[in-house]
């Protein structure tokens, strides 16, 4: 439990004090018990989570939240925090998702008819608002006594407003399935949100962190990255290439190694000598392709502010300034940019949305069932383990 608390404390910048630890203790115990119950179900069904699934989940959190590759690892490393605790949580989340898919069985299969029905529903909602938002869900065990959970939720909100990274906090503490995406829910329309959440997000400025929103089963913390009208949102789609110069050791900015100095010199030279996306790909391959030459299409308006500032004014086929991180130097190039109506959801995006809705509903139901049984079967073990 202490490791979990320290991970949150260090990654959000909270001072480590007995008061903070005590404030978090009750909620962390509930979370650890929930994870233990989930793990038992995972083992019962002989589900094995592979390392590449965990790596993919971490990468997905970064991409869905407009973060550069390895940003999660670098952020935790800069705070002196091991990634292990976060990896353990993600392993349980992935395994739990597979449990739910097995439990759903045929109900978990999204049909062409259901996709078509959702497409028709979206067309009927043309002109209504949609929100690109993220959430953190804090469950409440007993609605009659929610003081501890409310205090914990307020603690999280205060740190988010001080600049704690939403994706890292969501991945650690949100009990919604969106935790695997760093809390990101993607684009959602009002009909798919709790009425209490709708009332708040309608009024929220972009980037603000909500107060605790009481919903069935707990509290929600919401943030809205963007708003649009259903069926209409023009955005800028970027086709990028990158070259990455890896370091031989983590960077100490006050005392870089000779290899790191040489890497910066080579990157600076490349800024002047590389003039095409093919040349960027060739350069990245010559450097060992530690990061993919093609990071995939990126939507300019959804990138983190720092990355957006780098790419917004970058002309096609011109290399960006060197972007230095703990493990190396990245150069970026825009091969093509085009305006696109981003509000047109593809059938696969609609299928993912439908599946996520079913999985979320199944998750809350199964967790309630496990907790009801655990009150009878596991209370003595819980007292022994945590007291």
Q: Is the pLDDT of residue 220 over 60?
A: yes
Q: Which residue has the higher pLDDT, 167 or 10?
A: 167
Question: Can you give the pLDDT at residue 264?
Answer: 95
Decide which of 3.40.50.720, 3.40.50.300, 3.10.50.40, 3.90.1010.10 is the CATH code for 1-232+345-373.
3.10.50.40
pLDDT at residue 17 is higher than 90: no
C-beta of residue 310 within 8 angstroms of C-beta of residue 320: yes
CATH node for 234-341: 3.10.50.40
Tell me which of 1 and 205 has the higher pLDDT: 205
Confidence label for 133 from pLDDT (cuts 50, 70 and 90): very high
What is the per-residue pLDDT across 36-74, written as a single tens digit (0 to 9) for each? 888 889 999 899 989 888 888 888 777 766 667 777 777
Pairing state between β 234-246 and 218-229: unpaired
* Cα–Cα distance, 59 to 167 (Å, whole number): 12
Is the pTM higher than 0.85? The answer reads no
329 vs 247: CA distance, rounded Å: 8
Return the structure tokens found at 128.
């209504």
1-232+345-373 and 234-341 have identical folds:
yes
- Please report which confidence band the pLDDT of residue 23 belongs to, taking 50, 70 and 90 as the band edges: low
| Whether pLDDT at 3 is above 70 | no
CA neighbor of 80 nearest in space, from 125, 126, 143, 13: 13
Task: Parse the chain into domains and list their residue ranges.
Answer: 1-232+345-373, 234-341
pLDDT for 221-251, tens place per residue? Answer: 999 988 887 766 677 889 999 999 999 988 8
Summarised one tens digit per residue, pLDDT across range 252-282 is 888 999 999 999 999 999 999 999 999 999 9
Provide the mean pLDDT of the chain: 82
Whether the CB-CB separation of 94 and 53 falls below 8 Å is answered with: yes
Q: What is the 3-state secondary structure (H, E, C) of 263-320?
A: HHHHHHHHHHHCCCHHHHHHHHHHCCCCCCCCCCCEEHHHCCHHHHHHHHCCCCCCEC
Max avg pLDDT among 6-10, 66-70, 142-146: 142-146
The confidence score (pLDDT) of residue 329 equals 95
Name the percent of the chain lying above pLDDT 90: 29
Distance, in Å, from the CA atom of 300 to the CA atom of 317, rounded to the nearest integer, reads 17
Task: Judge whether 96 and 36 are in contact, CB under 8 Å.
Answer: no
Read off the pLDDT of residues 300-315 as tens digits, 9 standing for 90 and up.
877 877 888 899 989 9
């Amino acid at each position: 439990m202490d490791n979990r608390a320290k991970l949150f404390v260090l990654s959000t910048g909270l001072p480590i004090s007995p008061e903070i630890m005590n404030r978090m203790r009750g909620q962390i115990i509930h979370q650890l018990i929930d994870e233990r119950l989930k793990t038992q179900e995972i083992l019962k069904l002989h589900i094995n989570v592979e390392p590449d699934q965990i790596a993919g989940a971490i990468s997905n959190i970064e991409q869905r939240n407009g973060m550069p590759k390895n940003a999660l690892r670098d952020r935790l490393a800069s705070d002196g925090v091991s990634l292990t605790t976060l990896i353990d949580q993600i392993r349980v989340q992935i395994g739990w998702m597979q449990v739910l898919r097995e439990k759903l069985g045929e109900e978990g299969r999204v049909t062409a008819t259901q996709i078509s029905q959702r497409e028709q529903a979206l067309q009927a909602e043309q002109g209504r608002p949609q929100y690109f938002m993220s959430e953190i869900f804090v469950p409440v065990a007993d609605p009659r006594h929610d003081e501890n959970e409310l205090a914990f939720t307020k603690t999280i909100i205060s740190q988010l407003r001080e600049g704690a990274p939403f994706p890292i906090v969501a991945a650690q503490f949100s009990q919604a399935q969106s935790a695997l995406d760093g809390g990101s829910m993607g684009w959602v329309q009002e009909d798919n949100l709790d009425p209490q959440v709708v009332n708040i997000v309608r009024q929220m400025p972009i980037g603000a962190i909500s107060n605790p929103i009481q919903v069935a089963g707990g509290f929600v913390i919401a943030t809205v990255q963007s708003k649009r009208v259903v069926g209409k949102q023009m955005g800028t789609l970027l086709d990028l290439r990158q070259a990455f110069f890896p370091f031989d050791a983590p960077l100490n900015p006050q005392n870089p190694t000779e290899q790191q100095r040489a890497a910066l010199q080579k990157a600076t030279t490349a800024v002047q000598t590389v003039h095409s996306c093919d040349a960027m790909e060739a350069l990245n391959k010559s450097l060992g392709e530690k990061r993919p030459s093609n990071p995939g299409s990126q939507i300019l308006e959804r990138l983190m502010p720092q990355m957006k500032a780098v790419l917004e004014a970058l002309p096609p086929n011109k290399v960006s300034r060197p972007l230095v991180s703990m493990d190396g130097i990245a150069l970026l190039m825009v091969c093509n940019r085009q305006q696109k109506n981003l509000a047109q959801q593809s059938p696969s995006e609609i299928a993912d949305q439908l599946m996520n809705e079913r999985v979320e509903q199944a998750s809350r139901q199964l967790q309630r069932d496990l907790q009801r049984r655990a009150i009878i079967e596991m209370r003595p073990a819980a007292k022994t383990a945590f007291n």
